[in-house]
Amino acid sequence: MGDNYEGWCTIESDPGVFTELIQQIGVKNIQVEELYTLDPSEYNRLGEIYGLIFLFKWMQDKEEKVVSENDNLFFAYQVINNACATQAILSILMNNETIELGEELGNFKSFTKEFPPLMKGEAIGNSDLIRETHNSFSVPDSFIISKKKGKKEEPFHFISYIPFEGKVYELDGLQKGPISLDDCTPENWLEKVTPFIQKRMDKYSQGEIRFNLMAVIKNRSTTLQEKIEKLEKEKVELTSKQSETSTSDEEKSKIKLKLDSIDNEIDTANNEILMEQEKFRNYKEENIRRKHNFLPFILNLIQSLAEKDKLLPLVQKAKDQSQLKQQQSK
């Protein structure tokens, strides 16, 4: 079905790309982080997690999965091949009432609320906002090398995992509907979903199939700032109690230790905010480089070197260095 929707480019699977894509759609206070383990400590480090995205090299799966109908759940069929990453992100954003979608995406959600999955998928394909934002992260055409005849490009696929109305769901646009995996609460849904993701990882590891896992989370700088405000409030209360005449010397000593601990936590949180800000600056720079077409500059440079008779000597120098390395490695 994807071939019926032209004009959707392939984009890189990268947390920086997905984070800025979400921002440009108009969604606030959200970022995407790569997960390297399924350890609870890794979940805790990231703070509030709204959903998980699993990327893997797609292979035909003959396993029949039981579909769970839920009219309140946003589920769309995948009708655009190149949009599966963006659709996986939307599956998480659209199914969490605490996320600020922004005016345009909020209107899109309301407009498509009663649509069946096929029409929801078609609506995504016809959305100028979603398509133009998605395509703004495409690789410049000049760098897309034509595939050799007979060689198929490896198809990659994205699926989402979310908590919704007391259940953990797997949302896969290639399935007939949402898959209910287990009962859950907002507090334990990650614990409940982990075995299902681990099973997939084990399966693909045995077949040497590439995969990775990303989390859609609350903006970490916002989370850290909220933590600092909470600590500052606790600090004021403890300082007030410390100054009371009725407080014993022993209690004052304990309060001092607690205040020192709070100061250390605040310093750590402030340092983490600085690291997050630096990371976002790097994301922005990397995305600018991704979008820029460097080919005209490269061609002009080669032409200039050729005109000055410097190109061939540089080529010969590169060949000599390559041969020298090969000899040294023997």
Condensed to tens digits (0 to 9), the pLDDT of residues 252-286 reads 899 999 999 999 999 999 999 999 999 989 888 88
User: Which of 9, 84, 134, 184 is flagged as catalytic?
Assistant: 84
Residue 41 falls within a domain, yes or no?
A: yes
233 and 178 within one domain: no
Residue 169 falls within a domain, yes or no?
A: yes
Contact 125, 82 (CB under 8 A): no
CATH number, domain containing residue 50 = 3.40.532.10
Condensed to tens digits (0 to 9), the pLDDT of residues 128-139 reads 999 999 998 876
Surface-to-core class of residue 83, CB atoms within 10 Å of its CB (0-12 exposed, 13-18 middle, 19+ buried): buried
Q: Look at the pTM and tell me if it is higher than 0.85.
A: no
Based on the residue annotation, tell me whether 157 is a catalytic residue of this protein.
yes
Average pLDDT over residues 297-310: 66
Domain boundary pick from 202, 218, 234: 218
- Return the pLDDT at 148: 47
Residue 163 falls within a domain, yes or no?
A: yes
Number of Cβ within a 10 Å radius of residue 53:
24
124 and 213 within one domain: yes
136 and 226 within one domain: no
Residue 263 falls within a domain, yes or no?
A: yes
Q: How many domains does the chain have?
A: 2
Residue 311 falls within a domain, yes or no?
A: no
199 and 110 within one domain: yes
User: Which of 9, 157, 184, 292 is flagged as catalytic?
Assistant: 157
263 and 172 within one domain: no
Query: Where does the pLDDT of residue 29 fall: very low under 50, low under 70, confident under 90, or very high at 90 and above?
Result: very high
Based on the residue annotation, tell me whether 84 is a catalytic residue of this protein.
yes
Interacting residues of 125 by C-beta distance below 8 A, sequence separation 6+: 5, 8, 79, 80, 83, 131
Q: What percent of the chain has pLDDT over 90?
A: 58
227 and 211 within one domain: no
Domain housing 252? 222-291
Condensed to tens digits (0 to 9), the pLDDT of residues 304-315 reads 667 677 667 766
Domain boundary pick from 274, 291, 308: 291
Residue 297 falls within a domain, yes or no?
A: no
Contact 138, 92 (CB under 8 A): no
227 and 180 within one domain: no
- Return the pLDDT at 326: 63
253 and 104 within one domain: no
Condensed to tens digits (0 to 9), the pLDDT of residues 156-185 reads 789 999 999 999 999 999 999 999 999 999
